[in-house]
């Protein structure tokens, strides 16, 4: 079959079209509480067309909300990388360390952000007004950490023996072995971990905002559910999806840069 | 007293010994080549000398000092170059120089790096990454990296085996050149008898493993400089080549190794459709059979 030049544009559009049709039909037939696409757009217009407006604490432009979420994600994600990468290195380098901590990691890894958040709030209860922020950061960091930890560990174990032998024959210091051999050799794996971690951090933010009621894309979603403005739930979902997609693309660009070495 | 001395060295990895009862002594300034089949334990032998592996039994000494681990005084050139792909040519060599001579001033270190890059004629590729270099150029960088640490003995582990014939010849000349200017002690491991005879003062065959050991050493009395083209017609060269080749072949008939491998046959059976089926159900399980393959025959 001959492929058209516009395939990359046309074919995804067909996909979007199909979803829109299913959505429109559903809202008209069996799910009558589901706002139709047209109604959703009508009700969301203000939020999309003036995306940075601030009319009140929980009534702001959608990109302004997104921006709040992104800031919180960036902090929690940074924390996850800061903690996760060294743990990954320790796991990759030491069999004993792996034997001690691997079981606990495997147990903590599948725990949902929704489960961590209450614990985070309890942990930082004494922080007063900032308890919600710290709890959210804790949740994002602990959930987003695992892919970084595990990928870094795998990467360190996969460093070719030849490179390590070069280090041994030259009697490189520990620091030089780390900076000149181990880290560069592990970098591609680390970036895969970083990308997956960012995806999870973005997943966790919604949960964190919902439960703490912070202004943000997820907080807005929950508030509008309670306010019975269901159109805005869909607006939030679309925004969260698009931002997550953009973040993933961004990271895979970075990742490719490092993989080319 | 020999410079490098191996006495009754054996090495195994749990199973039957790969190397057994290796005795070798190399004098200061000597160029010795060890020739053997692939898989006979050549790399294991040089790793023992480099200190990357510890012998199961026996002792290795350099200048009377027992070898306890890797050290830049025994400069190893790896079979697969092992350049760090994220560092440029100069950075790869600088890493070695900085690590071995931390006391030198940065200017002296840089000078030493550049001197050895020039020595292998790669000044033009100084700031390139290994992936942008040809195989021969990479190996020259690897040689320069090792030489730049001024090792007391140079260990070459099949350094040219991955290169094409022409590049190989030019690098052989380069090794001869290095040897003539520095008079370094060199141990070369190779699978090419011609290469060994062209370069070395002494050639020692390694019998095929398991339990490989060194054969009788053959002194190469060919005058230097040795010309590759002229050598081919030199009666002494022909005699030595025949001698070493015959020895290697002789070991080969002596030792035979059998490897049993599992064959998974495809899940089909030819069936004679006309033949009457008598008491035989159709068979369709995938069949697993074992086949014995004789190596070295």
B27 lies in the same domain as B128: yes
CB-CB neighbors (< 8 A) of B96 in chain A:
170
pLDDT value for A94: 92
Question: How does the average pLDDT of chain B come out, rounded?
Answer: 83
Cβ–Cβ under 8 Å, residues A146 and A105 = yes
Q: Report d(CA B66, CA B72) in Å as an integer.
A: 15
CATH tag for A62-259 (out of 1.10.3720.10, 3.40.50.300, 3.40.720.10, 2.40.50.140): 1.10.3720.10
Distance from C-alpha of A93 to C-alpha of A240, rounded to nearest angstrom: 37
Rounded Cα gap, residues A47 and A235, in angstroms:
9
> Cis bond leading into A106, ω under 30°?
no
With contact defined as beta carbons under 8 Å apart, do A171 and B100 qualify?
A: yes
Nearest by CB to B50, from A162, A163, A169: name it.
Answer: A169
Residue B202 sits in the same domain as residue B266 = no
- Domain identity same for B269 and B182: no
| B76 touching chain A per CB within 8 A | yes
Which of B277, B291, B252 has its CA nearest to residue B38? B252
The residue behind tokens 């060269």 is B237
d(CA A76, CA A205): 9
What angle do helix axes A62-93 and A95-108 make, rounded to 10 degrees?
150
H-helix or E-strand containing B292? strand B288-295
Pairing mode of beta strands B153-157, B74-77: parallel
Tokens of A124: 């930082």
Q: What is the pLDDT of residue B297?
A: 42
Task: Report pLDDT digits (tens) over A164-181.
Answer: 999 999 999 999 999 999
Structure tokens at A190: 């680390």
Main-chain dihedrals φ then ψ at residue B203, nearest 5 degrees:
-120, 130
pLDDT at B253 (0 to 100): 61
**Within an 8 Å CB–CB cutoff, is residue A163 touching chain B?**
yes
> What is the mean predicted confidence (pLDDT) over A208-212?
84
**Mean of the pLDDT values across residues A188-214?**
89
- CB proximity B132 to A under 8 Å: no
Task: Give the mean model confidence (pLDDT) for residues B111-119.
Answer: 91
Does A256 lie at the interface with B, CB-CB under 8 angstroms? Answer: no
Is there a contact between B77 and B138 (Cβ–Cβ < 8 Å)? no
Kindly list the residues from chain B whose CB atom is less than 8 angstroms away from the CB atom of residue A180. 84, 87, 95
Out of A30-34, B94-98, B189-193, pick the least confident.
Answer: A30-34
- On the question of a cis peptide bond just before residue B210, with omega within 30 degrees of 0, the verdict is yes
Round the average pLDDT of chain A to a whole number and report it: 87
The tokens describing B106, both together, are 């940065």
Question: B169 in contact with A at a CB cutoff of 8 Å?
Answer: no
Residue contacts between A and B (CB atoms, under 8 Å): 50
Does B220 score more than 60 pLDDT? yes
Residue A182, number of CB atoms within 10 A of its CB: 21
For position B288, what pLDDT does the model report? 54
Position B214 scores a pLDDT of: 86
CA distance B188 to B176: 12
Is a pLDDT exceeding 90 seen at residue A76? Answer: yes
Domain boundaries, given as residue ranges, for chain A: 62-259
A261, pLDDT greater than 60: no
B150-155: average pLDDT: 91
Mean pLDDT of B142-167: 87
Instruction: Using the structure block, give the residue that is written with the tokens 């959210």.
Output: A136
What does the pLDDT read at residue B79? 85
CB atoms closer than 10 angstroms to residue A255: 19
Contacts of A52 (CB under 8 A, 6+ apart): A61, A63, A64
Domain match, B270 and B161 both: no
Cα(B194)–Cα(B180) distance, integer angstroms: 19
Of residues A205 and B257, the one with the higher pLDDT is: A205
**By C-alpha distance, which of B167, B215, B214, B153 is closest to B195?**
B167
- What is the rounded distance in angstroms from the CA atom of residue A197 to the CA atom of residue A208? 16
Contact B78 A165 (CB under 8 A): yes
Give the CATH number of the domain where residue B59 resides. Answer: 3.40.50.300
Task: Tally the domains of chain B.
Answer: 2
- Return all residues near B173 (Cβ < 8 A) that are at least 6 apart: none
Q: Are residues B151 and B107 in the same domain?
A: yes
Percentage of chain B beyond pLDDT 90 is 33
Angle of CA points A226, A230, A231, to nearest 5°: 140
Residue in chain B lying closest to A161 (CA): B82
Same domain, B34 and B20: yes
Q: What is the mean pLDDT of residues B209-225?
A: 83
Looking at residue A182, its pLDDT comes to 93
Closest Cβ–Cβ partner in B70, B75, B78 for A162: B78
| A26 in reach of chain B (CB within 8 A) | no
The DSSP 8-state label assigned to residue B227 in this structure reads P
Q: How confident is the model at residue B264 (pLDDT cuts 50, 70, 90)?
A: low
Please, which pLDDT band fits residue A210 given cuts at 50, 70 and 90?
confident
- Tell me what percent of the residues of chain A surpass a pLDDT of 70: 97
3-state secondary structure of B156: strand
Query: Is A51 an interface residue toward B (CB < 8 Å)?
Result: no
Cβ distance B71 to A171 less than 8 Å, yes or no, reads yes
Residues of B in contact with A170 (CB under 8 A): 72, 95-96, 99-100, 149
Same domain, B109 and B203: yes
Q: Which residues of A touch B80 (CB under 8 A)?
A: 162
- The distance of B289 to chain A (nearest Cα, Å) reads 34
pLDDT tens, residue by residue, B6-64: 999 998 888 888 888 899 999 998 999 999 887 788 888 999 999 999 999 899 999 88
Instruction: Please tell me which of the candidates B70, B74, B85 has its beta carbon nearest to residue A261.
Output: B85
Compute the nearest-CA separation of A181 from chain B (Å): 7
List the single range of A17-31, A219-233, B120-134 with lowest mean pLDDT: A219-233
Q: Is the pLDDT of residue B148 over 50?
A: yes
**Residue A240 three-state SS:** helix
Does the distance separating the beta carbons of A169 and B95 come in below 8 Å?
no
- On whether both B213 and B282 belong to a single domain, the answer is no
For residues B150 and B123, the answer to whether their CB atoms sit within 8 Å is: no
DSSP codes, B256-278: -EEEEEEEE--S-----TTS---
Average pLDDT estimate for B208-224: 83
Say what the pLDDT of residue B261 is: 62
Residues B268 and B217 in one domain: no
* Among candidate residues B254, B269, B286, the one where a domain is terminated: B254
Mean pLDDT of A123-128: 83
User: B289 and B199: one domain?
Assistant: no
Do B136 and B277 share a domain, yes or no?
A: no
**Under 8 Å between Cβ of A178 and A163:** no
CA atoms within 13 A on the CB side of A254: 16
Taking residues A106-129, what's their average pLDDT?
87
Domain carrying residue B263:
258-295
Spatial separation of the C-alpha atoms in residues A245 and A228, rounded to whole Å: 28
Question: Which of B69, B87, B100 lies nearest to residue A170, judging by beta carbons?
Answer: B100
Mutate to test the interface with A, among B50, B83, B84, B94 (most CBs of A within 10 A): B84
Q: Does A179 touch chain B (CB under 8 A)?
A: no
**What whole-number distance in Å separates Cα of residue B228 and Cα of residue B237?**
11
Domain identity same for B268 and B208: no
């Amino acid at each position: 079959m001959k492929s058209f030049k516009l395939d990359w544009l046309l074919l995804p559009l067909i996909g979007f079209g199909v979803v829109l049709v299913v959505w429109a039909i559903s809202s008209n037939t069996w799910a009558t509480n589901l706002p139709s696409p047209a109604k959703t757009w009508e009700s969301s217009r203000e939020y999309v067309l003036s995306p940075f407006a601030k009319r009140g604490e929980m009534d702001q432009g959608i990109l302004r909300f997104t921006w709040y979420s992104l800031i919180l994600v960036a902090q929690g994600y940074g924390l996850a990388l800061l903690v996760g990468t060294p743990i990954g290195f320790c796991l990759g380098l030491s069999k004993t360390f792996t034997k001690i901590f691997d079981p606990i990691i495997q147990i903590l890894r599948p725990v949902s952000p929704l489960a961590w958040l209450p614990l985070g709030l309890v942990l930082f209860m004494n922080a007063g007004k900032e308890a919600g922020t710290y709890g959210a950061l804790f949740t994002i960091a602990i959930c987003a950490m695992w892919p970084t930890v595990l990928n870094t560990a795998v990467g360190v174990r996969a460093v070719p023996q030849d490179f390590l032998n070069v280090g041994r024959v030259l009697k490189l210091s520990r620091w030089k072995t780390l900076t000149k051999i181990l880290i560069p050799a592990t970098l591609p794996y680390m970036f895969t971990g970083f990308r997956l971690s960012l995806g999870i951090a973005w997943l966790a933010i919604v949960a964190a905002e919902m439960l703490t009621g912070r202004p943000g894309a997820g907080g807005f979603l929950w508030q509008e559910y309670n306010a019975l403005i269901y159109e805005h739930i869909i607006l939030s979902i679309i925004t969260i999806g698009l931002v997550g997609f953009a973040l993933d693309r961004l990271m895979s660009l970075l990742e490719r840069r490092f993989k080319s070495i | 007293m020999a410079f490098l001395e191996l006495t009754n060295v054996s090495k195994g990895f749990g199973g039957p010994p790969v190397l057994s009862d290796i005795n070798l002594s190399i004098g200061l300034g000597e160029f010795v080549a060890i020739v053997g089949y692939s898989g006979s334990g050549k790399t294991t032998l040089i790793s023992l000398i480099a200190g990357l592996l510890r012998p199961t039994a026996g002792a290795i000494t350099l200048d009377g000092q027992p070898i306890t681990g890797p050290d830049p005084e025994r400069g190893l050139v790896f079979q697969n170059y092992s350049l760090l792909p994220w560092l440029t040519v100069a950075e790869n060599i600088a890493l070695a120089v900085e690590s071995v001579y931390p006391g030198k001033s940065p200017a002296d270190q840089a000078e030493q790096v550049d001197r050895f890059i020039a020595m292998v004629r790669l000044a033009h590729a100084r700031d390139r990454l290994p992936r942008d270099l040809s195989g021969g150029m990479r190996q020259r960088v690897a040689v320069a990296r090792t030489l730049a640490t001024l090792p007391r003995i140079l260990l070459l582990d099949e350094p040219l085996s991955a290169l094409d014939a022409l590049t190989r010849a030019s690098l052989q000349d380069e090794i001869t050149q290095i040897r003539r200017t520095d008079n370094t002690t060199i141990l070369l491991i190779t699978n090419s008898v011609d290469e060994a005879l062209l370069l070395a003062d002494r050639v020692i065959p390694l019998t095929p493993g398991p339990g490989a050991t060194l054969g009788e050493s053959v002194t190469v009395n060919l005058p230097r400089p040795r010309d590759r083209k002229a050598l081919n017609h030199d009666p002494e060269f022909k005699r030595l080549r025949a001698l070493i080749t015959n020895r290697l072949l002789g070991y080969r008939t002596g030792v035979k190794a059998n490897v049993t491998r599992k064959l998974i046959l495809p899940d089909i059976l030819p069936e004679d459709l006309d033949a009457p089926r008598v008491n035989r159900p159709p068979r369709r399980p995938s069949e697993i059979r074992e086949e014995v393959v004789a190596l070295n025959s």
